[in-house]
Amino acid sequence: MSTKATPRSTVPQDRPGPTPAGPFLQVRDLRVHFPTDDGVVKSVDGLSFNVERGQTLGIVGESGSGKSVTSLSIMGLHPPGTAEISGQVVLNDDNLIGASPEHVRRLRGKNMAMIFQDPLSAMHPYYTVGHQIIEAYRIHNRVSKQVARKHAIDLLDRVGIPQPGSRVDDYPHQFSGGMRQRAMIAMALSCDPELLIADEPTTALDVTVQAQILDLIRDLQQEFNSAVIIITHDLGVVAELADDILVMYAGRCVEYASAHEIFTQPRHPYTWGLLGSMPRLDRERTERLKPIPGAPPSLINVPNGCPFHPRCAYAQLTGGASETQLPELVETSPRHFLACHLSAQDRQRVWDNDIKPSL
Amino acid sequence: MLTYIIRRLIGAVILLFIVSAVVFSIFFLVPRIGGATPDDLASRYVGKSAGTAQIHETAVKLGFTDPIYVQYGRFAKGIVVGQNYNYGPAVEHCPAPCLGYSFITQNPVLPDLLDRLPVTLSLAVGASVLWLGAGVATGVISALKRGSFLDRSSMGVALAGVSLPIFFTGLLSLSIFSYGLGWTAPGGANPMDATNPLDWAYTMILPWITLAFLFAASYARLTRAGMLETMNEDYIRTARAKGLRERDVVIRHGLRAALTPIVTIFGLDLGLLLGGAILTETTFSLPGLGQYAVQAITNNDLPKVLGVTLLGAVFIIMANLVVDLLYAVVDPRVRTQ
């Protein structure tokens, strides 16, 4: 599935950015810091983005770039006392940061829901799949068990589980990996959430099943008109689904633009690296993949200046700025945000000569 | 499932016979290997003034002169079909399952055991309810408030609980609550004499608490460790993501998973206790199976020792079976395999 990097032609090119009506989900300057004995882990450090209903945002980055921490902060799932969270998460004009835990709990599952990476460990092994969906539905809806059970069977049917009437009484271990993820999606969708966050929804799955699950998420999104955030390290996944893509590195946004722009005119060297390390079947296998050298930095000791500079092949072109100054996220062209010290001319030259021919 | 249960029951019967053979050998075969003659064995069960002829007569009467397999065969036959005994003027019939006659009092062993079982049962069941409730609740709270003053102090008390022997905590509580404050019945009261449940509880409350304290301590530690593990599982995050109340997350998702090993250990502990809580019964002078066992051992009354050991083995084997069956109920993943 990760073979196609061409964005869908239907992607509107005038995104992202706030719309006049006010975005459905607005994240402003989100910071999530974890104080530890070794120092403060700055997992997310000043992240902003918007998602509209019916729109899909892909958040992309390596492990440890702060993607999952971001999603857990939106859902209010960091255990109290562990994380210092600041900034704003505004869902439907309702700021969730600083709201009472009880208030956020009532929104969880009902207004916003989440699909997790590993559906086997994310479902309780001792309860049937049906029980877990029924439980999710009955938290927010005062209905009888029979009604909820019927709803659960409907949901299982809708996510493509065969014989939902009998599979509803199966335990998670009796489902295959893809079926479990479908059941997980059914559980997340049980209360028609307006915001759906999928955290690496296909990472634990077979490649053939991955495409089915992504199709399912897209179909259901259209049906429910939900806002969707897909978190992944695989650009191929978001190529299929996302309208906008936000590239994260070391807890910060380095590039944020429409999916079309990210795939046709990527501007950040890190994005180039991600694209270069993606296997492509629509090209001849003449060259090796180009992995990004080095490893993501420790979030306790983020390098000075641009956090990416120790791994960046073009850092020397900035005349030392990348080692001392943190690049600001600026709108380099309409709806295309970038945090990089490279000058426009250097960037264009490198893109034309080094990057574009090999992508 | 039914064939599994039947297979297990047959296995249990075979195991019981092995246990009985081993126990029988320990008391009847090992002295012989050690050089004791049948007359030496019999000399314990006659008066001090008895002559050699009388001792030999007793040895013959008790069957000590027969080969050991004949003696065991007689004992095993008694369990299955019953047996006739001739100890004195009349021949007495001991119906199956016959565990034999006491060498000292000449009472059949089984009715004695059944007389004392309710006392042990009262003690074990009452204490187990207490320790299960208190231990699990303490463990859950400790795990949730990990590192807090409450956690540290309750784990400190738990450490004391597992370390202090019953004959210390029992005697201490007797001296304070029974003899000092007069809140509870003094030791030696028979709970079976109680005429109403309140009276019964009054007699048993101190033994219950003392015994439960010992067990609750280890259950609290076990529950705490289990909860710390399960509350970090992904499915707990899922439960929270659904918008479940924290109380339900903890009890229905966290504790439900942490309870599995506790159910197993609870079954085995209860089975063990039903065979006689020797220290507690001795400390509080409760006429239960444990006290019976101690008396039988001090008096060298072999049939009694054999009987109480076998009954204990029955409880442990049954508890094992129940735990195995219960495991399939508690953990659905076991069922399909």
A79-122 pLDDT, tens digit each: 878 899 999 999 988 899 989 999 999 999 999 999 998 888 99
Q: What angle do CA B320, B324, B328 make, to 5 degrees?
A: 160
pLDDT score at A31? 94
Q: What is the pLDDT of residue B179?
A: 80
Q: Which parts of chain B register pLDDT below 50? A: none
Residue B243's pLDDT is what?
93
pLDDT value at position B253? 94
pLDDT at A150: 95
CA atoms of A324 and A268, how far apart (whole Å) = 18
Q: Do A110 and B243 touch (CB under 8 A)?
A: yes
Record: contact A107-B235, CB cut-off 8 A:
no
CA distances from B299 to A9, A303, B23, B119, B293 (A): 96, 81, 17, 22, 10
A227-232 and A56-60 strand pairing: parallel
Q: Provide the b/e sequence for A105-116 (b: ≥16 CB within 10 Å).
A: bebbbbbbbbbb
Could you tell me if B234 lies within 8 Å of chain A, comparing CB atoms? yes
Inform me whether the C-beta atom of residue B152 falls under 8 Å from chain A C-beta atoms.
Answer: no
Query: Residue A125: which of B237, B242, B333 has the nearest Cβ?
Result: B333
Report helix, strand or coil for A125: coil
Nearest CB among A110, A121, A140 relative to B235 is that of: A121
Contact A110 B333 (CB under 8 A): no
Residue with tokens 């109340």: B245
* CA-based nearest residue in chain B for residue A187: B242
Residue of B nearest to A121 (CA): B234
Report pLDDT for B336: 57
Q: What whole-number distance in Å separates Cα of residue B164 and Cα of residue B303?
A: 33
Residue of B nearest to A141 (CA): B243
Tell me what pLDDT residue A17 has: 46
The pLDDT score that the predictor gives to residue B245 is: 93
Q: Do B237 and A77 touch (CB under 8 A)?
A: yes
Token digits of residue A226: 């939900």
Q: What is the pTM of this model?
A: 0.81
d(CA B252, CA A236): 39
Predicted confidence at residue B34, as pLDDT, reads 80
Closest chain B C-alpha to A192 CA, distance in angstroms: 12
In whole angstroms, give the CA distance from residue B168 to residue B163: 10
Q: Hey, where are the domains in chain A?
A: 126-191, 268-358
One-letter identity of residue A34: F
Q: Can you list the domains of chain B with their CATH numbers?
A: 2-108 (no CATH), 110-335 (1.10.3720.10)
Amino acid (1-letter code) at residue A114:
M
For chain A, residues with pLDDT lower than 70 are 1-21, 280-287
Nearest CA in chain A to B329: A126
pLDDT, position A25: 94
Nearest-angstrom CA–CA distance, B151 and B146: 6
Which of A181, A186, A197 is closest to A229 using CA atoms?
A197
Query: Among partner residues A108, A126, A187, which is closest to B331 by beta-carbon distance?
Result: A126
Residue owning tokens 């479902």: A123
Measured CA to CA, the distance from residue B137 to residue A91 in angstroms comes to 38
Which one-letter amino acid corresponds to residue A281?
L
Given an 8 Å threshold on Cβ–Cβ distance, is B244 in contact with A77?
Answer: no
pLDDT at A285: 61
A14 at interface of B, judged by CB pairs closer than 8 A: no
Q: How many whole angstroms separate alpha carbon A149 and alpha carbon A143?
A: 10
Tokens of B237: 């995050």
Both tokens of A14, joined, read 């005038």
Q: Do A121 and B233 touch (CB under 8 A)?
A: yes
Flag whether residue B143 sits within 8 Å of chain A, measured between CB atoms: no
Q: Does A356 reach chain B within 8 Å, measured CB to CB?
A: no
Residues in chain A closer than 8 A to B331 (CB atoms): 125-126
Give the minimum alpha-carbon distance from B80 to chain A in angstroms, rounded to a whole number.
Answer: 43
